[in-house]
Structure 1
């Protein structure tokens, strides 16, 4: 059966066999291995739909611009680009909300403030897998599970079960196992080996787990307009201009 003219970039384990699926490392028979930092490996005007979820923020700002330009190149006229990313605006609003609540000593505000700070900075500055988020989730005394589920969906529930149920350190419990899996074995091809310490740090910084840039609806909209996209809008996880979007099961749990 011929594939749909749809492509899923940086898919990890979230892919549908009716789509063309591409990632840095293949996670299955239906996934093409390709370094997306050098472009999308298809001709111009190839696809009616381009989709990527929680990938753009892991690219340096300039590389992110190149990715968006590539998305436009491979899209047919009138095609749809769907992007899912962390919402900097919502994180910033939560920061102010829970900061003010914590200053008033409101119940539960301190724990929500701490998590919001981690959402904002931990994946930018961390130097080990999972960062302080793993340590936060391990600490059951915070009694903040409902808020974590509200912010991060069912995926964080799986993390809770995995982290709390196994006596492993934060380096062996990945905050995003699919991302770590995807870059393993490839990173040495992308980073200059100047010295052991710099290489180890560089491998982690550019290995796919770190957030290299953040976007809100304005900055992402401006980026899309810069690369000739029109009719830009924010939609919910189950809304899309892509026909029968929900049947493909591609929405990552962190998008809900």
Structure 2
């Protein structure tokens, strides 16, 4: 089987073809996903993508899913993972109702849920307020944060405390030499542009430039999905056998052995919707 992991970041497996817009590892092929997928028509058995779709504008998401369909063989499986808007909204309403009736036991959960709702959409710096919270001493309900943020939150919390436990993601590989050179060159070009903007237009224009560059870097969320809108979206692209699954469930053979969505049976991103669909003939 030929399986592709699209937008893999630092979570990948050697049995898959791993691609991302920026590669920090020799095992990951660097490719601009907005330019389509670099595979022939009907050449792929499985297409997997986790927490990528929500970063794309609607027209970009349409193109992305159409590309996934194009490269999949008849009967090929598409598995998508995205943040669950419904779960965030249900938590918000639950903890809001509690506070209104003067039950303040979960006030931290209420504030945290509001951060989940807007921080990823509006942030102007890497990690945003949510990332800053994970690395701070202000967490009042550690179990809740872990249940929502998953391994990303756990690693940020442990890192802030100087803990060096077992790494749960494939992020210990050496970065490729060419990748380092490419990023250094890009950073130098950006610094040169920033200097020119500051000299010509001032600090305000420089701040606007930096904010614009960040918002186009791919970190923020452009669209949020729930179980209905995501299934409807895949159906509109002609996929069939569309099923919501759990992190540990899949029709992909031996999927859990690749540790893409779970580690030791625990979901990497528990705040997610997991959905699979099949390409017809």
- Calculate the TM-score normalised by the size of structure 2: 0.77
Pick from 122, 136, 148 the counterpart of residue 145 of structure 2.
Answer: 148
2:78 alignment partner, SS class: strand
Paired residues in the alignment total 239
For residues 43 and 118 of structure 1, the distance between their equivalents in structure 2, rounded to whole angstroms, comes to: 41
5+ unaligned residues in a row in structure 2: which ranges?
Answer: 164-170, 198-204, 263-267, 272-281
2:8 alignment partner, SS class: coil
Equivalence for 1:249: 259
Comparing 47-56 with 22-31, which one deviates more in the overlay?
A: 22-31
Contact 1:15 1:250 in 2 (8 A): yes
User: How big is each residue's C-alpha offset from its partner over 1:109-140, in whole Å with a ceiling of 9 and x where there is no partner?
Assistant: 21001111111100001111121113433453
For residues 156 and 137 of structure 1, the distance between their equivalents in structure 2, rounded to whole angstroms, comes to: 6
- Calculate the TM-score normalised by the size of structure 1: 0.84
Q: Write out aligned runs for 1:71-86 (5 A).
A: 71-86=68-83
1:254 deviates by 1.5
For residues 184 and 127 of structure 1, the distance between their equivalents in structure 2, rounded to whole angstroms, comes to: 21
Pick from 201, 205, 216 the counterpart of residue 211 of structure 2.
Answer: 201
Q: Write out aligned runs for 1:31-50 (5 A).
A: 31-50=28-47
Contact 1:23 1:31 in 2 (8 A): yes
For residues 123 and 38 of structure 1, the distance between their equivalents in structure 2, rounded to whole angstroms, comes to: 24
Larger Rg: 2
User: How has the CA–CA distance of structure 1 residues 211 and 184 changed in structure 2, closer, same or farther, with 3 Å as cutoff?
Assistant: farther
Q: Which has the higher contact order (CA 8 A, sep 6+)?
A: 2
**Is 1:121 aligned to 2:118, yes or no?**
yes
Contact 1:138 1:163 in 2 (8 A): yes
For residues 109 and 259 of structure 2, the distance between their equivalents in structure 1, rounded to whole angstroms, comes to: 30
Contact 1:42 1:74 in 2 (8 A): yes
Equivalence for 1:13: 10
1:208 deviates by 1.8
User: How has the CA–CA distance of structure 1 residues 74 and 118 changed in structure 2, closer, same or farther, with 3 Å as cutoff?
Assistant: same
- RMSD between aligned residues: 2.8
Comparing 58-67 with 194-203, which one deviates more in the overlay?
A: 194-203
For residues 37 and 108 of structure 1, the distance between their equivalents in structure 2, rounded to whole angstroms, comes to: 45
Equivalence for 2:100: 103
1:52 deviates by 0.3
1:78 alignment partner, SS class: strand
Comparing 204-213 with 139-148, which one deviates more in the overlay?
A: 139-148
Equivalence for 2:221: 211
2:269 alignment partner, SS class: helix
Structure 1 or 2: more strand by fraction: 2
